[in-house]
Structure 1
Amino acid sequence: MLNVENVTLFYGAAQALRGVSVEARPGQVTCVLGRNGVGKSSLMRAIVGHRPIAGGSITLEGRDIARMKPYDRARNGIAYVPQGREIFPLLTVRENLETGYAPLKRGQRSVPDEVFEIFPILKSMMNRRGGDLSGGQQQQLAIGRALTTRPKLLVLDEPTEGIQPSIIKDIGRAISYLRERGDMAILLVEQYFEFARDLADRFILMERGEVVVSGGRAELAGDDVRRRMAI
């Protein structure tokens, strides 16, 4: 579904990505691993269109999207949950979810029932302001808003950051459920090794803007990945 090939990206004179390649397939979770500052979020911004690439290619279902605007990528099925969640604190939970209607045709503009099946706490908080929710509840809201867009590709940038353990488990179960549906590709940026190990079908590990290790679940269980993430 998603194929990123040999992508380079710059911030001014500073090179953030050096020939990075990754793919995400329906029914699988692909994890992007690495310590802070290695280019993981830059890669996500390139994929969703928030930063232009200097070289390489990005395709979704065989279609070149590297020059598409972010809103066109959303209309083509990419949903992004950024690091820090970025919900609207003064809007209610209902209103936050409804902002996910933006890329949808008029007949699709409803919140899918599965959002409340996955995160039932949101249903009981529909009239509360987003800013009044805990950090973990805000993360659930951000994922629910992304799911409202009916994505083909769900991009999650460090969804466990600063979240209490009980909600980390809820988010893990939600990702597993979405994978088992089989029609959605999931790209997950993560620093929490155990969380990634339990969910990933495939992974890449980044250092200094490039991929240094990649493989399937068996390779992720090896000591080399854990050691590199700990350095």
Structure 2
Amino acid sequence: MLAVDNIGLHYGAAQALRGVSLTAAPGRITCVLGRNGVGKTSLLRAITGQHTTSSGSISLDGRPIDGLAPYSRARRGIGYVPQGREIFPLLSVKENLETGFAQLARRDRTIPDDVFSLFPVLHSMMARRGGDLSGGQQQQLAIGRALVMRPKVLVLDEPTEGIQPSIIKDIGRAIVYLRDSMGMAVLLVEQYLDFCRELADHVLIMDRGEIVLEGAADILDTAAARRHLTV
């Protein structure tokens, strides 16, 4: 289980996170929502080690990961799908997937069959350059690359952004499969409310760097949630 306890994060004098706590448990989808600029991506960057927290603690399976470099956190079991996908446009689909091998022992450096069962289009495009794929296909590739690492916790930053509805459904089905069939912990930052409403076991809403509301997915239909989510 991923546990974030009362963390703060600063960019110079500006405080981006204020006492944020959450858990992402195996076999559950935890969704974080909020307007632009409230600290959602900063939260994920703190969890993945891209930014150092100024207070609080982060642990995985009861072991602290504070201070570990991003590659060490990946090695411990955190798979990250960043906003904007960040695939390598000049590498082939196969080569992009194989970049996930970096954190694995040599004997484990294979692409899991689940990647192709979840996203069959990747199998048929193995020789294509990543930059030649559509936005939705690139998003599937980014998720597949994270799954190559065999993560315990899959962290996704707005995977539906700019994606066509048919691919959003495919991504939703893949996330549900990872939860239900593989028992994976999924931490999802999202702005697409219907996507979270359909998938999430637990929802947290952020505003001004803090968690201001949390509960089951039906809190998204409350006046309090709408107050923090509407522009």
* TMscore range, shorter length: over 0.9
Asked if 1:93 is matched to 2:93, the reply is yes
Letter in 2 for 1:228: H
C-alpha RMSD of the superposition: 0.9
Q: How many residues align?
A: 231
Distance 1:226 1:149 in 2: 37
Deviation at 1:227, TM superposition (A): 3.8
Partner of 1:185: 185
Asked if 1:84 is matched to 2:84, the reply is yes
Following superposition, which runs of at least 4 residues in structure 1 exceed 6 angstroms of deviation?
none
Distance 2:148 2:138 in 1: 15
**8 Å contact kept, 1:28–1:182:** no
Distance 1:41 1:51 in 2: 11
Partner of 1:136: 136
Report the 3-state secondary structure (helix = DSSP H, G, I; strand = E; otherwise coil) of the residue aligned with 1:102.
Answer: helix
> 1:1-231 counterparts in 2 under 5 A?
1-231=1-231
* Gap runs ≥5 in structure 2: none
Deviation at 1:221, TM superposition (A): 4.0
Letter in 2 for 1:195: F
Distance 2:148 2:92 in 1: 15
Distance 1:108 1:218 in 2: 40
**8 Å contact kept, 1:94–1:127:** yes
Report the 3-state secondary structure (helix = DSSP H, G, I; strand = E; otherwise coil) of the residue aligned with 1:161.
Answer: coil
TM-score (norm 2): 0.98
Label 1:182 to 1:144 Cα distance change in 2 as closer, same or farther (>3 A). Answer: closer
Deviation at 1:228, TM superposition (A): 2.2
How many percent identity over aligned positions?
Answer: 66
TM-score (norm 1): 0.98
**8 Å contact kept, 2:197–2:218:** no
Report the 3-state secondary structure (helix = DSSP H, G, I; strand = E; otherwise coil) of the residue aligned with 2:95.
Answer: helix
**8 Å contact kept, 2:196–2:217:** no
Report the 3-state secondary structure (helix = DSSP H, G, I; strand = E; otherwise coil) of the residue aligned with 1:197.
Answer: helix
**8 Å contact kept, 1:197–1:221:** no
- Deviation by residue 1:165-214 (Cα, 9 ceiling, x = unmatched): 11011101110111102431000000010101111001110001001001
* Gap runs ≥5 in structure 1: none
- Deviation by residue 1:12-44 (Cα, 9 ceiling, x = unmatched): 111000000111000000001001000000000
Letter in 1 for 2:130: G
Report the 3-state secondary structure (helix = DSSP H, G, I; strand = E; otherwise coil) of the residue aligned with 1:179.
Answer: helix
Distance 2:105 2:199 in 1: 32
Distance 1:127 1:19 in 2: 46
Distance 1:207 1:60 in 2: 25
Distance 2:164 2:227 in 1: 25
